[in-house]
Structure 1
Amino acid sequence: MDATDLHSLAGHLREYDLQVVALEPEMRLHATNPLHGLLTKEIVAANGHYVTSFKYEIGEQGHEKECAQRIAQLLAAPTSVHQGAAATPRSWTPVTDAAGWCDWHEGPSRTAVLIDVVGEDSGPAAPRYACAPCREQRGLRPDDGGQS
């Protein structure tokens, strides 16, 4: 992979609203889903192919657009398919309210709900929100306002 291929792949990944860091000296890319920071892939070139750090083959060099689509799918980036056309990127909906943030994975979320309020006795109250995956993984339950 040369720097041109690296920048081409990075550009196609950004079309899917993925966060991309290109490490030119090492000829590596790090792509991350901005809605969940744990969804990330490191991409390197090996023998004319793009592969992940786990040696999963993404595709051939020279086919950066198709490789970017595969990487976007691995990272659960939203795509839409137009009838009779190839998949085209669809933008993320920006999160602007506090309930759109998960305090457990420390990232934006469309499924975050209030879990608890901390600091009421020791200072200003701070609500804590958790997304559906974090609630399931950690057994968290939404705050019922003391009703249970």
Structure 2
Amino acid sequence: MVKLNINGADHELDIDPQMPLLWALRDHLTMTGTKFGCGQALCGACTVHLDGQPVRSCQTFVGDVGDSKVTTIEGVSGKVAEAVRAAWTKLDVVQCGYCQSGQIMSAIGLLTQTPKPTDDDIVSAMDGNICRCGTYQRIRAAIHDAASTLA
């Protein structure tokens, strides 16, 4: 039995502790906002927050989560999250949308740690979040917009 705190709610799952968090979220808790991309922590589609820090859920085993709090795209909230969501909408960032939950989770993590990021900060924090549609310029602009909103 594995105990997880997801989006503020406690869950007990009868699953293998070596199961990736991604599959516990998607297959056992039906939280499908977190996407499967590569399965190797290279694309960022599966990004969630573990105690507020962005992590790749495809390579985070549920047995390693322990007492940490997991936040998914379904449960992320607060002023930084709202500023990021508003900027994403305002600047029409999304094209196909597949990578966007991971992009948003990484952007929220960045702005929480670095409220006034430079372009270099953004590139560094978003490195490993792949967008098949190539909306990187809009993503960077949206992060700057969200930072301005928060200032």
Q: Shorter chain as normaliser: what TM range? A: under 0.3
More relative contact order, 1 or 2 (CA 8 Å, 6+ apart): 2
Rg (Cα) greater in structure: 1
Q: TM-score, normalised on structure 2?
A: 0.27
Write 1 or 2 for the structure with the bigger share of helix.
2
Q: TM-score, normalised on structure 1?
A: 0.27
Write 1 or 2 for the structure with the bigger share of strand.
1
